[in-house]
Amino acid sequence: MAKDDLLREASQALHLAGIEDARREARLLLCWATGRDLGGLLSLDGVEPLQASRFAEALKRRLDREPLAFITGETGFWTLDLETGRDTLIPRADSESLIEALLDVCPDRNAPLSILDLGTGTGCLLLAALSEYPQATGVGVDLSPQAAALARRNAIRTGLEKRSVFLAGSWADALSGRFDIVLSNPPYIETRDLAGLMPEVVQYEPARALDGGVDGLEAYRILCASLLALLVPGGYGILEMGIGQIDSVSALGAANGLRDVAHKVDLGGVERALVLQSGA
């Protein structure tokens, strides 16, 4: 079948379904179906019947608003290529601001940091941090055993399995010891707002990783109450948050003996990462 015909028809269908950047999404789906990257797609002459069938099935799933990362089973985060699955949130570029904040407060890339990632999901934050600090080690914890298992597979996939451990548990309940860095992207969406999220999110991603309670701050209360005991003196807790939440979370940190030392904005200009420091 002709590549251009498939892309044109798919782009039109995706556009009519309300999917932004429909042309790009069609190309990415065809890349996955044919096993090529975007550059390789340019030199593709025709699409074989089995590839066309695979593309048609993927397109149907995308038209049902299933996220592209769940169809392909992978996504990029920072400099890493990660496996994705329905038991975790899809890593987003907004979360990369936490890694940028970490690099700002810990400029020594050879520091032997100990890092804890609470609510690790795919393991994206911990693995991205370990990729930047070759002497660092880390622990990732997620409530879902399936998510912890996926994060372990991502550690192997990225060659970071010897410096990382992933556990299933509720926040830091099963942990002892202290860490130089605690990272977390907790649930922070107000419960009443969940139903209004994009279909890709509300229909396919796990609600437990999104629902931050009545005011969106439920997880932060737990985290801020735990950080002082989890961090070494002078250690940093780096938390992701939603739009307009940074002052409230900063106040929660202060109430628990933590200093607000830095904010980091995402690509959209939203204050996305808050850096809290324990007392020296």
Specify the higher pLDDT residue, 52 or 217: 217
189-194: average pLDDT: 94
Confidence of residue 280 (pLDDT cuts 50, 70, 90): low
Q: What is the pLDDT of residues 71-108, one digit of tens each?
A: 999 999 999 999 999 999 999 999 999 999 999 999 99
For CATH 3.40.50.150, the residue range(s) in the chain are: 74-277
Residues of the chain with CATH 1.10.8: 3-64
Structure confidence by residue, pLDDT tens digits, 158-182: 999 999 999 999 888 878 889 999 9
d(CA 191, CA 176): 32
Residue 197 burial (10 A CB sphere; 0-12, 13-18, 19+): middle
Pairing of strands 164-168, 114-118: unpaired
DSSP 273: E
Q: Is the pLDDT of residue 45 over 90?
A: no
DSSP 236-269: EEEEE--TT-HHHHHHHHHHTT-EEEEEEE-TTS
Q: Per residue in 218-249, pLDDT tens?
A: 999 999 999 999 999 999 999 999 999 999 99
The answer regarding whether domain 74-277 maps to CATH 3.40.50.150 reads: yes
What is the percentage of the chain residues whose pLDDT exceeds 90?
84
When the pLDDT of each residue in the chain is averaged and rounded to a whole number, the result is: 93
- What's the confidence (pLDDT) of residue 1? 64
Q: What is the model's pLDDT at position 66? A: 95
Model confidence, pTM: 0.92
Q: Which CATH architecture has domain 3-64?
A: Orthogonal Bundle (1.10)
